[in-house]
């Protein structure tokens, strides 16, 4: 119980760090946002493109550093979720909803509203225990994989 509580605190710390990095991008208008106009969002989109990020790395921009830290936080977030929920990495990989939240929460090329919504949902899900192994049992060996015909 204490170990799981510590792991939940670790997950919360990673999520807080991600929020902080997204705030840096938002402050610098370096991420698309529904609260800014087209010109600002086009500039942010160019900055988050492969060429824009290469330029940001070359000049050592604060925004590119924030993007790098967001991407580098992904393994730490997965590790904290594994410890906090008791799920295996394979279980996380097979949980489509959690996988999508992780990808959205750690993708600085998406708009800030999507990123923050994913962080909020991830945090709420961890607190509620939604992603515990009991609520997401692993598929039994030999069980058919989900498909449109057997939903």
Q: What is the per-residue pLDDT across 1-16, written as a single tens digit (0 to 9) for each?
A: 788 788 888 999 999 9
- Whether pLDDT at 128 is above 90: no
**Whole-number pLDDT of residue 114:** 96
Which DSSP letter does residue 136 get? Answer: S
Burial of 41 (0-12, 13-18, 19+ CB in 10 A): middle
C-alpha to C-alpha distance for 66 and 83, rounded to whole angstroms: 25
Give the tokens for residue 99: 């996988």
End-to-end CA distance of the chain: 35
Q: How does DSSP assign 59-90, residue by residue? A: HT-HHHHHHHHHHHHHHHHHHHHHHHH---HH
Asked whether the predicted pLDDT for residue 136 surpasses 50, the reply is: no
Q: Which are the contacts of 26, defined by CB distance < 8 A and separation ≥ 6? A: 33, 112
Q: Which of 20-29, 71-80, 116-125, 141-150 has the highest mean pLDDT?
A: 20-29
pLDDT tier, 76 (very low <50, low <70, confident <90, very high otherwise): very high
Contact 26, 44 (CB under 8 A): no
Whether residue 15 contacts residue 77, with contact meaning beta carbons closer than 8 Å, is answered with yes
Report the candidate in 75, 73, 78, 24 with the shortest Cα–Cα distance to residue 47: 24
pLDDT of residue 89: 80
For residues 66-95, give the mean pLDDT: 90
């Amino acid at each position: 119980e204490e170990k799981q509580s510590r792991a939940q605190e670790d997950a919360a710390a990673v999520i807080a760090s991600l929020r902080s990095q997204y705030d840096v991008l938002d402050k610098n208008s370096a991420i698309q946002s529904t609260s800014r106009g087209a010109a600002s969002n086009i500039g942010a989109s160019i900055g988050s493109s492969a060429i824009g990020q290469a330029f940001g790395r070359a000049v050592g921009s604060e925004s590119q550093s924030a993007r790098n830290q967001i991407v580098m936080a992904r393994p730490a977030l997965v590790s904290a979720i594994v410890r906090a929920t008791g799920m295996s990495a394979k279980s996380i990989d097979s949980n489509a909803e959690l996988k999508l939240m992780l990808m959205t929460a750690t993708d600085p090329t998406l708009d800030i509203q999507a990123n923050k919504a994913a962080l909020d949902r991830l945090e709420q899900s961890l607190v509620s225990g939604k992603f515990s192994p009991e609520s997401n049992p692993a598929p039994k060996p030999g069980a058919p994989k989900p498909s449109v015909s057997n939903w």
